Amino acid sequence: MARRRRKTELQDTFAAIAGFRDLVDETFEKLTGKPIASWLKEFQQPPRKLPPGGQQEPLSASVLSLESAYAVLGLPPTATQEEIERNYKRLAVVFHPDKG
């Protein structure tokens, strides 16, 4: 009986972990527009070589558009400064490393 209960507790624990993983995946995809797996693959690629002359490529291709920045905050482009600050602070709390 004790062994069965222990097995059920382990199954419940794994189910809770899987549920949390799914929640993190969904939240990350809503915020960034791409799944965590594809985001991590970008960091596994070797670093790009600088072109001759030492000049780096302009960052304009990798910078979010203004509409995308508003979308990450969950706001329309017509949002006020106060709304932007409030949503930014909420998002910062979610991803703060000391939160726990």
> What does the pLDDT look like over 23-40, one tens digit per residue?
888 898 888 888 888 877
- Dig out the tokens for 31 from the structure: 């915020």
pLDDT of res. 82: 93
CA pseudo-torsion sign 68, 69, 72, 78: negative
Closest to 99 measured CA to CA, from 85, 91, 14, 20: 91
Contact call for residues 19 and 11 (beta carbons, < 8 A): no
Query: CA–CA distance from 41 to each of 34, 53, 66, 67 (Å)?
Result: 11, 29, 25, 25
What proportion of the chain, given as a percentage, has pLDDT over 70? 77
